[in-house]
Amino acid sequence: MDTKQKLADTLKELMKTIPVDHITVNQLTSSADVARNTFYYHFADINELVAWIYNREIVTQLAVYQRERDWGVGLDVLVTYN
């Protein structure tokens, strides 16, 4: 797993119990077991990481939805996003 994805997965896990605006870079990097500098090598702040997750996961799901011929299948793809 690459570092960006590891940080993204860790952030999503933390967001299950902590509001994103209360998560610090220190909490995130500690939970992801990476150095704080590693985070800043990839992202300027947590909001940039959230945007990266959105772009990578949500926008990708929307592209899949657009390719579906049956709108029901496309809708299922969108609502079953994890």
Q: pLDDT digit string (tens) for 52-77?
A: 998 888 777 777 666 666 667 666 76
Q: Distance of CA 6 to CAs 30, 41, 45, 71, 73, Å?
A: 12, 14, 15, 33, 29
CATH code, domain with 19? 1.10.357.10
Residue-range definition of the domain harbouring residue 58 = 3-79
Q: Specify the higher pLDDT residue, 62 or 82.
A: 62
Q: What per-residue confidence (pLDDT) applies to 77?
A: 65
Query: What is the domain count for the chain?
Result: 1
Find the mean pLDDT for residues 28-33: 98
pLDDT of residue 64: 67
First to last CA, the chain: 18
Say what the pTM is: 0.75
Chain mean pLDDT for the chain? 87
